[in-house]
């Protein structure tokens, strides 16, 4: 393998290697190291937005209850954004995520109310349906070599339409399906996907006067909504996957240059198909979480979430051309989103400024990311 | 293993694409510790030939032997497993990824048990740093993006990667055609190093000077056929140039331009 005889031109013994190595490591300044992180922009953005709201918004925004208010929508978007980020790093888009939320919501609701399946089975089946649809998306993109943008745009409409038609068919004319919450029943599985977590910790904190509580002793915030726990867990898992595993390296490679990756033995098509399936499953997770939370599902669920997820991923440092980005960046991007959408109601500003802010943020992020990328890669 | 058995031997290789005859009888051998230069003008069939050797295309007819044994490759992966590594000019490295990630792309060493299996990046960094040092590339930090390296350095990293992963035969597809003078000499020097390790090298180029600088033998392709194979002692650089360009016409042009082509 590697250590064939050292060529004659190489005069340095192993010790010199050691020495030189240490010297060189120090030359990489901390600044360069920080600049090299794709999520830098999102983190900086989050700090800026936080400062903005601290100085303009009502103080109640940054109480425990206020933070949970911000994080709840951020979590739903974030789960989608992290999956979208992985897919974008892998060099593809999925515009059908939002419609996928609505469609898998309907599928899940139908399994519960029409088929009367137990919750666990219904959830597993919903994920299976999502995975098949995601795989179909992926295979279409790979086989036809069409841009994923156009293939998934078609699915955006197909799935949205199917959700509408399916809802009307299942409910006899309504675009809303009710009674899912009651049918789903209670139990451990239900608690994994709805309600709040860490209630014990929160009541203990309240009992010890560390967080706000009502006069009767129950804390004002009874726990962390499970969607936030899923969001944080998924962000950690995705980051680990991307930065520490083989699959992660293959995702970067597939998005960076599929030909070079194939030449080096990376199974590019399998990686991409897997990412499409993951994105669809993330949509299914959001569907299950929100449907169980609301107890019902409707055709507008997940509306325009595909754009928001892509925007959060871009704010998080993903390049539109693929091969570069971060999952934790998308995590921050989604929190920025939640903070701005909820935060404006705490200020004197009209909350319709949200969309203006969103567009401006996207533009800034793209410009900033381009600049950083050139700096880091020495591209000219 | 008998040292005299060629690493690669092809006899009368023919490749048709529908009605197009891309290769009409090419023969070639590559031995251990030898740089075989494959010369030919555009359309001579160089690309088809290397893609056949690399497992991308399957030959229509003819013999293809690796270390004396006949082989048929179904995919580039098979060729790689047989020890034939191809370094393509532009398609070797991913600029946005770090040197380490590029070096181990597709062959990442893992540690731990599933589902906690992860890439052993400490080991990867170590190896990358050492291998880069061996070829004299000033990589300050293996985490820096490949985009920060020069074209010559990238080409050298790609070659070093193939060597590290146990290639017996290296196919270099025009490794110097996009490079400046200093970078070209860097790559040529490295090809020389690789040969002294006992690998066989197939060096494809347009540039007779580059070929003559490191080549031991020269095979000239023209219109899908081998015009001949010559060892360095048998042929001068001018003759080689003429052979490659199809002789007479080029001489005439060359005379017109003052003998500078």
Q: Which fold has domain A60-374?
A: ABC transporter involved in vitamin B12 uptake, BtuC (1.10.3470)
Closest partner CB to A249 (pick from B91, B105, B129): B105
Q: Which of B221, B212, B222 is closest to B191 using CA atoms?
A: B212
Q: Enumerate the β-bridge partners of residue B218.
A: B37, B230
pLDDT of residue B42: 77
Tell me which of 3.30.530.20, 3.40.190.80, 3.40.50.300, 3.40.50.1390 is the CATH number of domain B8-96+165-235: 3.40.50.300
pLDDT of residue A142: 95
Q: Which of B56, B76, B105 to mutate to test the interface with A (most CBs of A within 10 A)?
A: B105
Chain B from 84 to 103: CB within 8 A of any A CB: 86, 88, 91-97, 101
Residue A232 has pLDDT above 90, yes or no: yes
Please write the tens of the pLDDT for every residue from B42-52.
Answer: 778 888 898 88
Helix (H), strand (E), coil (C) string for chain B = CCCCCCCEEEEEEEEEECCEEEEEEEEEEECCCEEEEEEECCCCCHHHHHHHHCCCCCCCEEEEEECCEECCCCCHHHHHHCCEEEECCCCCCCCCCEHHHHHCCCCCCEECCCCCCEECHHHHHHHHHHHHHHCCCCCCCCCCEHHHCCHHHHHHHHHHHHHHCCCCEEEEECCCCCCCHHHHHHHHHHHHHHHHCCCEEEEEECCHHHHHHHCCEEEEEECCEEEEEEEHHHCCHHHHHHHHHCCHHHHHHHHHCCCCC
Q: Which of A204, A58, A198 is nearest to A213 (CA)?
A: A204
Instruction: Report pLDDT for B261.
Output: 52
Which one of A7, A252, A377 has the shortest CB-CB distance to B193? A7
Q: Which DSSP letter does residue A223 get?
A: S
On whether any CB of chain A is under 8 Å from the CB of B23, the answer is: no
Asked if B94's CB is within 8 angstroms of A260's CB, the reply is yes
Which pLDDT does position B252 carry in this prediction? 65
Mean per-residue pLDDT over chain B, rounded: 85
Return the higher-pLDDT residue of A53 and A1: A53
- Of the candidates A7, A245, A377, the beta carbon closest to that of B95 is on A377
pLDDT at A291: 95
Q: Is the pLDDT of residue B72 over 50?
A: yes
Is the confidence at residue B104, as pLDDT, over 90?
yes
pLDDT at B87 over 90: no
Q: Helices A305-315 and A353-377 meet at what angle, rounded to 10?
A: 40
Output b/e per residue, A145-166; b: 16+ Cβ within 10 A.
eeebeebbbebbeebbebbbeb
B133/A265 touch (CB, cutoff 8 Å), yes or no: no
Chain CA centroid to CA A111, Å: 26
Chain B nearest-CA distance from A207, in A, is: 38
Mutation for A interface: B82, B94, B107, B173, most A CBs within 10 A: B94
Domain ranges (residues) in chain B: 8-96+165-235, 97-144
Q: In chain A, which residues have their Cβ closer than 8 Å to the Cβ of B106?
A: 250, 253, 261, 264-266
Confidence of residue A173 (pLDDT cuts 50, 70, 90): confident
Instruction: Give the chain A residue nearest B105 (alpha carbons).
Output: A264
Residue A323 sits at the chain B interface (C-beta within 8 Å): yes
Say if the Cβ atoms of B129 and A21 lie within 8 Å. Answer: yes
Within an 8 Å CB–CB cutoff, is residue B109 touching chain A? no
Which of A4, A6, A253 has the CB atom closest to B94's CB atom? Answer: A253
Cβ contact, residue pair B95, A379, below 8 Å? yes
Q: Is A13 on the interface with B (CB under 8 A)?
A: no
Q: Is A130 left (phi over 0), alpha (psi -120 to 50) or beta?
A: alpha
Residue predicted with more confidence, B223 or B10:
B10
Give the pLDDT mean for A353-374: 85
Query: Which CA distances in Å does B38 have to A264, B49, B159, B185, B220?
Result: 23, 10, 18, 19, 6
Q: Is B130 exposed, middle or buried (0-12, 13-18, 19+ CB in 10 A)?
A: middle
Give the model's pLDDT for residue B243. Answer: 79
* B139: chain A residues, CB-CB within 8 Å: 24
Distance CA A244, CA A161 (A): 40
* pLDDT for residue B201: 93
pLDDT of residue A12: 41
Closest-approach residue (CA) in chain B for A3: B164
B32 shares contact with chain A (CB less than 8 Å): no
Closest to A276 (Cα-Cα) out of A102, A163, A141, A78: A141
Angle between helices A64-89 and A226-244 (to 10 degrees): 30
Distance from CA of B234 to the nearest CA of A (A): 28
CB A220 within 8 A of CB A214: yes
Q: What pLDDT sits at residue A255?
A: 95
pLDDT value for A184 = 85
Give the pLDDT band (50/70/90) at residue A339.
very high
pTM of the model: 0.86
- How many whole angstroms separate alpha carbon A310 and alpha carbon B23? 48
CA dist., res. A134 & res. A128, Å (int): 10
Is A102:A160 a contact under the CB 8 Å cutoff? yes
- Closest CB to A7 among B94, B141, B197: B197
Q: Which of B104, B133, B163 sits opposite A17 (nearest CB)?
A: B133
Name residue, tokens 């731990």. Answer: B112
* A380 chain-B contacts, CB cut-off 8 A: none
Q: DSSP character for A320?
A: T
Both tokens of A54, joined, read: 């601290």
Does residue A380 sit at the B interface (CB-CB below 8 Å)? no
Q: Identify all chain A residues contacting B144, using CB atoms and an 8 Å cutoff.
A: 28
Closest partner residue to A377 among B101, B134, B147, by Cβ? B147
State the smallest CA–CA distance between residue B164 and chain A in angstroms: 4
What integer pLDDT is reported at residue B250 of this predicted model?
A: 58
Max mean pLDDT among A59-63, A93-97, A320-324, B159-163 falls in A93-97
Inform me whether the pLDDT recorded for A82 exceeds 80. yes
Domain positions in chain A are 60-374
Percent of chain A at pLDDT > 70 equals 91
Q: Would you state the pLDDT for residue A285? A: 97
Question: What are the pLDDT digits (tens) for A16-75?
Answer: 444 444 444 445 567 767 777 888 888 988 999 999 999 999 888 899 999 999 999 999
What distance lies between CA B197 and its chain's CA centroid? 15
Residue A226 banded pLDDT, cuts 50, 70, 90: very high
| Confidence category of residue A14, pLDDT binned at 50, 70, 90 | very low
What is the rounded distance in angstroms from the CA atom of residue B90 to the CA atom of residue A46?
Answer: 39
Mean pLDDT, rounded, for A313-331: 92
Tens digits of residue pLDDT in B183-192? 888 888 888 8
* Residue B238 pLDDT class (50, 70, 90 cuts): confident
Q: Tell whether the model's pLDDT for residue A160 goes beyond 90.
A: yes
pLDDT tier, B124 (very low <50, low <70, confident <90, very high otherwise): very high
Dihedral-angle region of residue B99 (phi above 0 means left; psi in -120 to 50 means alpha; beta otherwise)? alpha
Question: What is the pLDDT at residue A380?
Answer: 47
How many angstroms separate the CA atoms of B38 and B205, rounded?
A: 7
Structure-token pair, residue A352: 């319709």
Under a CB-based contact definition with an 8 Å cutoff, are residues A21 and B129 in contact? Answer: yes
Inter-chain contact B94–A8, Cβ cutoff 8 Å?
no
- Whether chain B has a CB inside 8 Å of the CB on A24: the answer is yes
Identity of the residue in A24, A28, A377 whose CB atom sits nearest the CB atom of B145? A377
From B101, B105, B166, residue closest to A1, measured CB to CB: B166
Half-sphere exposure of A60 toward its Cβ, with a 13 Å CA cutoff?
8
pLDDT at residue B57, rounded to an integer: 87
How many Cβ pairs within 8 Å bridge chains A and B?
121
Q: What is the ipTM of this complex?
A: 0.82
**Average pLDDT of the segment spanning A344-363:** 88
Q: What distance, in Å, lies between the first and last C-alpha atoms of chain B?
A: 44
pLDDT of residue B77: 78
Residues whose CB falls within 8 Å of the CB of residue A368, separated by 6 or more in sequence, listed in order: A41
Contact list, A266 vs chain B (CB under 8 Å): 105-106
> Residue A167 above 90 pLDDT?
yes
Chain B residue at shortest CA distance from A18: B130
User: Are A263 and B140 in contact (CB < 8 Å)?
Assistant: no
8 Å CB contact of B127 and A256: no
Question: What number is the average pLDDT over the span B112-138?
Answer: 87
Band (B247; pLDDT cuts 50, 70, 90): low
pLDDT in tens, A282-293: 999 999 999 999
Determine the 3-state secondary structure of A302 from DSSP: coil
Structure tokens at A28: 């990489």
Per-residue tokens: A332: 């921050």
């Amino acid at each position: 393998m590697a250590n064939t005889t050292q060529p004659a031109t190489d005069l340095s013994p192993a010790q010199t290697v050691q020495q030189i190595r240490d010297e060189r490591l120090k030359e990489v300044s901390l600044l360069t190291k920080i600049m090299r992180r794709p999520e830098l922009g999102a983190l900086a953005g989050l700090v800026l937005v936080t400062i903005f709201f601290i100085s303009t918004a009502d103080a109640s925004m940054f109480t425990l209850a206020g933070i949970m208010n911000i994080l709840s929508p951020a979590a739903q978007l974030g789960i989608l954004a992290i999956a979208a980020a992985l897919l974008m790093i892998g060099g593809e888009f999925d515009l059908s995520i939002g419609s996928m939320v609505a469609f898998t919501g309907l599928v899940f609701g139908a399994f519960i109310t029409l088929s009367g399946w137990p919750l666990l089975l219904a959830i597993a089946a919903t994920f299976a349906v999502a995975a098949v649809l995601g795989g179909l998306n992926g295979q279409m993109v790979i086989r036809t070599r069409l841009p994923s943008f156009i293939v998934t745009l078609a699915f955006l409409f197909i799935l949205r339409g199917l959700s509408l038609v399916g809802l009307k068919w299942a409910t006899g004319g309504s675009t809303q399906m009710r009674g899912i919450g009651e049918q789903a029943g209670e139990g451990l599985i239900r608690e994994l996907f709805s309600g709040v977590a860490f209630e014990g910790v929160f009541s203990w904190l309240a009992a010890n006067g560390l967080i706000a509580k009502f006069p009767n002793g129950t804390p004002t915030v009874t726990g962390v909504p499970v969607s936030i726990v899923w969001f944080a867990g998924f962000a950690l898992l995705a980051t680990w996957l991307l930065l520490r595993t083989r699959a992660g390296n293959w995702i970067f490679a597939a998005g960076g240059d599929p030909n070079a990756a194939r030449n080096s033995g990376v199974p590019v098509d399998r990686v991409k198909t897997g990412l499409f399936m993951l994105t669809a499953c993330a949509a299914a997770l959001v569907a299950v979480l929100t449907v169980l939370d609301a107890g019902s599902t409707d055709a507008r669920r997940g509306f325009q979430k595909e754009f928001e997820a892509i925007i959060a991923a871009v704010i998080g440092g993903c390049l539109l051309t693929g091969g570069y980005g971060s999952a934790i960046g998308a995590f921050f991007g989604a929190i920025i989103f939640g903070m701005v959408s909820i935060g404006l109601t705490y200020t004197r500003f009209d909350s319709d400024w949200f969309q203006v802010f969103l567009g401006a943020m996207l533009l800034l992020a793209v410009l900033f990311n381009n600049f950083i990328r050139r700096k880091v890669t020495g591209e000219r | 293993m008998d040292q005299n058995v060629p690493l690669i031997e092809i006899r009368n290789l023919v490749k048709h694409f529908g009605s197009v005859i891309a290769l009409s009888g090419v023969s070639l051998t590559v031995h251990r510790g030898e740089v075989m230069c494959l010369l030919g003008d555009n359309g001579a069939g160089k690309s088809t030939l290397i893609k056949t050797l690399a497992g991308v295309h399957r030959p229509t007819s003819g013999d293809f032997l690796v270390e004396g044994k006949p082989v048929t490759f179904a995919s580039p992966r098979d060729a790689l497993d047989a020890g034939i590594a191809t370094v393509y000019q532009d398609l070797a490295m991913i600029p946005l990824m770090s040197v380490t990630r590029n070096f181990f792309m597709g062959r990442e060493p893992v540690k731990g048990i599933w589902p906690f299996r992860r890439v052993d990046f400490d080991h990867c960094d170590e190896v990358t740093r050492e291998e880069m040092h061996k070829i004299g590339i000033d990589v300050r930090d293996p985490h820096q993006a490949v985009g920060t390296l020069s074209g010559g350095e990238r080409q050298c990293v790609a070659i070093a990667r193939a060597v590290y992963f146990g290639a017996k035969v290296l196919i270099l597809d025009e490794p110097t055609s996009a490079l400046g003078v200093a970078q070209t000499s860097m790559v040529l020097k490295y090809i020389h190093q690789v040969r002294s390790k006992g690998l066989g090298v197939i060096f494809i180029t347009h540039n007779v000077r580059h070929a003559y600088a490191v080549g031991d033998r020269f095979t000239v392709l023209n219109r899908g056929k081998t015009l001949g194979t010559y060892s360095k002692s048998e042929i001068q650089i001018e003759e080689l140039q003429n052979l490659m360009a199809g002789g007479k016409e080029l001489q005439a042009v060359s005379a017109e331009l003052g003998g500078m082509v």
